[in-house]
Structure 1
Amino acid sequence: MHHLEVTHVEGDAYTVDVRGHRLQVDQPLQAGGTDTAPTPTELFAASLATCVAFYAGRYLQRHRLPQAGLRVRTEFTMAADRPARVASLRLAIVPPPELPERRRAALLAVASHCTVHNTLHQPPPIDIEPAP
């Protein structure tokens, strides 16, 4: 079981403590926040993008291929109706410039099997309950 804890800071800002690491989230000014950190939804998209990048990077490591220049560009749109949710995500993997053309399709295939991507395709049950 993995654990993390979210604690209110002030206004719309919260800290997330994960294994001794601390992240912060907030809301943009136009949404009433102070824009001191990314939004939870931006971190959601970032989670998918970094997972894809990690899997792509590991593929490159396994095959002793260069990782320098590997990037994942991500865009998302919000649904116009309720409930509030991300309507679409688009990720573009920018392979290292020196990656041979014959390796690019395999890089995309491996990256698409990241844990976050798999979780979105087979969502777990989510229970929200009061703490004891």
Structure 2
Amino acid sequence: MDIEVTFPGGKRVDATVGAFTLRTDQPAELGGEGSAIAPFEAFLASLATCAGIYALGFCQARKLPTEGLKLTQRYEVDPETKLPSMISLTLQLPDGFPEMYRGAIVRAVEGCKVKRTIMAPPSFEVVALSPKVSAAVLPGA
């Protein structure tokens, strides 16, 4: 799967995935206009929304109530690396949610593909091509 990244100006960076475009920008204090979510916050939001779809899917598959279902993600930052050292996902279950499903919905959320990718990180490769180099030399091309 390819994600096409473009640079529309300023500190804005857009990523097109299929028919959708995720627009990002840096906050004003980092030289951007603050016109869109920052890339790192989009990364964190992808984890939260992935966990959310797993929670929602769990409830919908069992016809459990979802009104009042809420997920909150918090994270702590390591002062040295400035990277998250702990990410916490808290589900607020709706009124009437059966106690017998509490552990099961937690396990469902733990199955989130974004979380599983973070826990078993892929290898990364960065390649820079000059205009004279063919894309055919790229791995997987």
TM-score (norm 1): 0.88
What secondary structure, in the 3-state scheme, does the structure 1 residue paired with 2:91 have?
Answer: strand
Query: Which of 104, 107, 110 is the equivalent residue of 2:108?
Result: 110
Output aligned runs, 1:1-132, within 5 Å: 2-82=1-81, 85-131=83-129, 132=135
Contact 1:45 1:89 in 2 (8 A): no
In the alignment, the residues of structure 2 paired with residue 77 and residue 129 of structure 1 have an alpha-carbon distance, to the nearest angstrom, of 32
Contact 1:47 1:116 in 2 (8 A): yes
- The sequence identity of aligned pairs, in percent, is 30
Contact 1:25 1:40 in 2 (8 A): yes
The worse-fitting range, judged by mean Cα deviation, of 55-64 and 42-51 is: 55-64
Could you tell me which amino acid in structure 1 is paired with residue 78 of structure 2? A
Could you tell me which amino acid in structure 2 is paired with residue 43 of structure 1? A
In the alignment, the residues of structure 2 paired with residue 86 and residue 6 of structure 1 have an alpha-carbon distance, to the nearest angstrom, of 25
Can you list the C-alpha shifts for 1:100-132, whole angstroms capped at 9, x where unaligned?
A: 222122111111111011111100111111242
| TM-aligned CA deviation for residue 39 of structure 1 | 0.9
In the alignment, the residues of structure 1 paired with residue 51 and residue 94 of structure 2 have an alpha-carbon distance, to the nearest angstrom, of 14
Is the radius of gyration larger for structure 1 or structure 2?
2
Unaligned runs of 5+ in 2: 130-134, 136-141
Distance 1:78 1:115, change over 3 A: same
Contact 1:28 1:34 in 2 (8 A): yes
| TM-aligned CA deviation for residue 60 of structure 1 | 0.9
| TM-aligned CA deviation for residue 81 of structure 1 | 2.4
